Structure 1
Amino acid sequence: MRQVPLAEITPHSSSYGDPNGRVFWWMEELYRGIMPDRVGFYSHLFDSGVIRQLVNQKFLIESEPVDLSLQGFGLIVKHPRLSFVSYPFEWCAPMLKEAALLVLDLEMALFEHGLGLQDCHPWNVLFEATKPLFVDFGSIVTANGNNLWESNGEFFRYFVYPLLAMASGQTRIARWLLHDYTCGISEVEADFLTRRRGSQVKERTRKVLRSFGKRYPGRLHFALRKGLRLLDRVFSGRAPRLHESRIVYLRRLRTMVESIVIPRVPTGWSNYYDSDFPQFHPSGDWQQKHSSVHKVITNLKPRTLIDIGANRGWHSLMAAHFGVNTIAADIDEECISQLFYDARERDLPVQPLVLDFTSPSPGLGISNNMLPSATQRLKSEMALALALVHHMVFKSNLTFDQITQGLSDFTTKYLLVEFIPKEDRYVKEWWTPAKSWYSLDEFQRSLRRHYSSVTLLESYPEPRVLLLCEKQ
């Protein structure tokens, strides 16, 4: 057994409170050390095939014991390194809903083996493209003997209440409250966000269940009536106590979460590319911009890419179609939600996120490092910034230096950015003498502060251009 030198490991910044183990980096690989008094328990889960079953069901991240030893731990487990780490306040509502359903499915699968989760908050879930995975291996424990679901309150604060607030049109506020990773959204806050008085979330949830029944007349009415009675127990703090009742309760809760409908709120940008969404292989429908971006991506073959200001994500989906692990970032919630469904339907490696380039998610926690910033977590080998710069200059009042610095923070090597000159019909409407510095020459000067090479490429329509930038 190989001994890992303690001086060579780097503790994971988010792994500090788990009584069962700690996550750490060693030689650019991710491991989990299991406390000596918990080795027997987790070894049995491996030996009995429970962990393999959960991994095969796509509930749990890949987890394998390895022949390593580290001072202070009795067992070392290796996990894969995911392409990107994102947090709940960056997910669109459909992603939060998918994460909630994953937690419930995992809890039900665990309970069949007499197990459960000691923590079920969304920071224990990461997305591999559009697929959620539970990553906190150490959260698996023996189920409480009285069969109460200990994590019920936590599940409501971090999943149910935020989803109900989003269903009431309060997506932006719900997202910001999810920054509070120690509390989530309380029942009182959920009441307020859903425009109810007093303890009214129960009634809203009952309506969700009733509306679900209306959409399926005559099929699930008996089960829904039982679910409504069970809901009264949930909100009064009386969870089911029998083994069968707990499974029934979790199934009812899953039905309720699944039936939460997040309303579509079309924006000025959500239909922007509806008439310009061709196939992802070169074709006669492609414009020069499509061809130029495709050529750059297929020639350079970046492993990871972030598309900043992705909108509906055609370029993100195209890059993913050619095997690039991609983040599609945009401030428009509706665009990101539609892109999530598109990427999931096509099974492409795209993770869409709600992210504002002018205010990317900062680091949180002690020393702002417990939850690292977006620029740390999402930095990619290549960044795309198409039809973005003119918006940042004329609508967000940023300078070229601010924009090029911000873009540089998201890429380790390449940037493909579009410049739209003042002769363009859209920029013409916005241009003022106060922005006389807005020119291609000035933009290139700013880019060269961060990149050793800047090459001009054709875009569409003229006189727009693309600039391919490379760091040393």
Structure 2
Amino acid sequence: MAQPDTDLRAEPASFRDPANRVYHRGDEVLRGLNERAAAEWRALAGSDFFTTLLTEGKVCGTVEAAPVPHGWAALLRHERIPFVSHPYEWSHTMLRDAALLHLEILRVALPAGFTTKDGSAYNLQWRGAQPVFIDVGSLTPVRYGEPWAGYRQFCQTLLYPLLLGAHLGLDVQPWLRARVDGIEPDQMRRLFAGGRRLLPGVFTHVHLHGAMQRGNARASTADVRAQLRAAGYSCELALATVRGLERLVRRLDRRPTVSHWIDYQRTCGYSADDRATKERFVSASLAAGPRARLALDLGANDGRYARVAAAHADYVVAVEQDPAVVDGLYRALRAEGERRILPLVMDLADPSPGGGWRGVERAAFVDRARADAVLALAVVHHLAIGRNVPLPEVVDWLCGFGAPGATLVLEFVHPEDPMVGRLLANKPDGLFPDYRRAEFERLLAARCRVAERLDLPTGTRTLYRAVVGG
């Protein structure tokens, strides 16, 4: 029997499909289903292909639950993903692996009589370096003669970004961040004119797709479906399309780009003693507090300290600005089978804002990233000097990521350090009079209890362990 739902909180990103809606209740992730969706779920749950996907971890764990909230016919309980990220925070290879998983699920679903209602990149999340399909409500029985309803979304949020990255070498994170629905075919058509039309996948999925959309602009969805049924469109043709997309996506690799940050561990000026001392300090600092449920490594570079943090946390989100560095880190974590470190592309001076409908459909990074442990190593000077962010705001912002009692491990790079000298070389004299260790310590002490301080052997960098609100 349906029960009052006063303890349920609706997920702002789940409203586009009226057949189901995602809710939160404490730490639980729940999904309400209407009568039709409930019947489809029970058919899906009894299918062999879906059971296999669940067992392999390719679809998020899902079971039927109770009590059923008022207004719904059934309730599902989903596995909780450790950290929700957005496609514009993923590297090229992450986006490609997410696309391949979506296509694999569709390929095994079609012969069993199921398809997906949509093809959005937002239907996928991550367990560390493993993609996982989360939109169980998108899986629905195939209707004879109908095309894959998710093709356009798949192109706009997954395939087109991959084409831009593989063929033009573009970092597509800003493109995806700008539009929640992805990149339109007309935009792609202008970028892939002339000889570029012949690049793999471009003519069929950009120009021909765009021409079909324009040709059917005045036709209703029912009219298009009727035309396809009359033309003999079948599940076999849909399956052939999916297999062709899989072959194409596998080819859309991107050659590593030259980047200063890729070789940062060699060029950053740390001595071997500095590195060893810093690693010991980070490990001891995290071990000094309770085990973290979530740890953030802000400015993670190649993930050296994210791996240290993983020994003291259930899950680590490693944030780095350079897409090529994140891609290299992701490939390494994937090869290791790492499921507890999630690498993300993000400029800390311009972090992901809220987006989509009313600005809350896709939550801002600061609203998702409340952590029990925060690493900000060699970050403060890049924000305060490299990006001209006032030092009080940098300290306040970094401390704000920690929940009350959280452990913060921060590094202050002194004005005399060669790296600061490089940053100051193109700045007017006297622009940063407050960038001093004493001022940094005063600001930090106003927000936290500073538990420990250690100068690195070279003498121009200091590490701090602090407790938020302590």
Matched, 1:256 2:259: no
The whole-number CA distance in structure 2 between the counterparts of 1:430 and 1:181 is 33
Code of the residue aligned with 2:367 in structure 1: it is: Q
Aligned-pair distance for 1:201? 6.3
Aligned to 2:431, the other structure's residue is in SS state: helix
Is residue 292–residue 459 contact of structure 1 (8 Å, CA) maintained in 2? no
Partner of 2:292: 302
Superposition TM-score, scaled by structure 1 size: 0.86
Q: 2:400 aligns with which of 399, 404, 409?
A: 409
Quickly say closer, same or farther: Cα 1:275–1:389, change in 2 above 3 A.
Answer: closer
Quickly say closer, same or farther: Cα 1:202–1:108, change in 2 above 3 A.
Answer: farther
Quickly say closer, same or farther: Cα 1:102–1:202, change in 2 above 3 A.
Answer: farther
Is residue 155–residue 205 contact of structure 2 (8 Å, CA) maintained in 1? no
Quickly say closer, same or farther: Cα 1:262–1:430, change in 2 above 3 A.
Answer: closer
Partner of 1:59: 58
Aligned to 1:435, the other structure's residue is in SS state: coil
Code of the residue aligned with 2:200 in structure 1: it is: T
Partner of 2:420: 427
Matched, 1:243 2:241: no
The whole-number CA distance in structure 2 between the counterparts of 1:161 and 1:241 is 25
Deviates more, 1:383-392 or 1:185-194: 185-194
Code of the residue aligned with 2:319 in structure 1: it is: A
Is residue 294–residue 373 contact of structure 2 (8 Å, CA) maintained in 1? yes
Aligned-pair distance for 1:405? 1.9
The 5-angstrom pairing of residues 4-403 of structure 1 reads 4-146=3-145, 148-169=147-168, 171-172=170-171, 174-194=172-192, 196-197=193-194, 202-205=197-200, 237=212, 241-273=233-265, 287-300=276-289, 301-321=291-311, 324-348=314-338, 349-403=340-394
Aligned-pair distance for 1:5? 3.5
Aligned to 1:171, the other structure's residue is in SS state: coil
Is residue 289–residue 458 contact of structure 1 (8 Å, CA) maintained in 2? no
Aligned-pair distance for 1:253? 1.1
The whole-number CA distance in structure 2 between the counterparts of 1:443 and 1:285 is 21
Instruction: State the superposition RMSD in angstroms.
Output: 2.8
Question: Higher RCO, 1 or 2 (CA under 8 Å, sep at least 6)?
Answer: 2
Quickly say closer, same or farther: Cα 1:397–1:321, change in 2 above 3 A.
Answer: same
Q: Per-residue CA shift, 1:397-424, capped at 9, x if unaligned?
A: 1121110122123222221110111232
Aligned to 2:350, the other structure's residue is in SS state: coil
Q: Which blocks of at least 5 consecutive residues in structure 2 are unaligned?
A: 213-227
Aligned-pair distance for 1:34? 0.8
Aligned length: 442
The whole-number CA distance in structure 2 between the counterparts of 1:470 and 1:285 is 23
Q: Per-residue CA shift, 1:34-69, capped at 9, x if unaligned?
A: 112332221222234553222123331111011322
Aligned-pair distance for 1:128? 1.4
Identity of aligned residues (%): 24
The whole-number CA distance in structure 1 between the counterparts of 2:99 and 2:43 is 28
Aligned to 1:64, the other structure's residue is in SS state: strand
Partner of 1:461: 458
Aligned-pair distance for 1:26? 1.3
Aligned-pair distance for 1:171? 2.9
Quickly say closer, same or farther: Cα 1:18–1:273, change in 2 above 3 A.
Answer: same
Aligned to 1:449, the other structure's residue is in SS state: helix
